[in-house]
Amino acid sequence: IAGITQAPTSQILAAGRRMTLRCTQDMRHNAMYWYRQDLGLGLRLIHYSNTAGTTGKGEVPDGYSVSRANTDDFPLTLASAVPSQTSVYFCASSEGDSGEQFFGPGTRLTVL
């Protein structure tokens, strides 16, 4: 049982480049989330999806986009990366929007 997988594990990216972080879950959870975690700031919600075909903006959505074509996948795209997007990104999922959230292993992204 994999749970939630994320790829890549880590990435160094030049500013201005486009990057897609992948997230896949095999728990058939309806809700999925993207967070970024920065030292001293905790986890902040970027975008979320309550069910396949729908997405919503979180606390810090600027510079990021998401799509939810099916239940399992929830990719996060940085259209033109900037150094302030250097962070650790976590994908999470939950059964409905009222259950506990399960987190993927994270992607460490460095934008130079």
Query: Where on the chain is the footprint of other proteins (CB under 8 A)?
Result: 33, 35, 40-45, 48, 58-59, 90, 97-98, 100-106
Minimum CB–partner distance for residue 80 and other proteins (Å)? 27
Minimum CB–partner distance for residue 33 and other proteins (Å)? 8
* Nearer CB in complex with other proteins: 67/102: 102
Minimum CB–partner distance for residue 97 and other proteins (Å)? 4
* Nearer CB in complex with other proteins: 73/108: 108
Cα distance between residue 31 and residue 74, in whole Å: 10
Q: Tokens 């986009």 belong to which residue?
A: 65
Answer whether 76's CB lies under 8 Å from 46's CB: yes
Backbone angles phi, psi at 83, to 5 degrees: -55, -30
Cα distance between residue 71 and residue 29, in whole Å: 7
3-state secondary structure of 92: strand
* Nearer CB in complex with other proteins: 52/88: 88
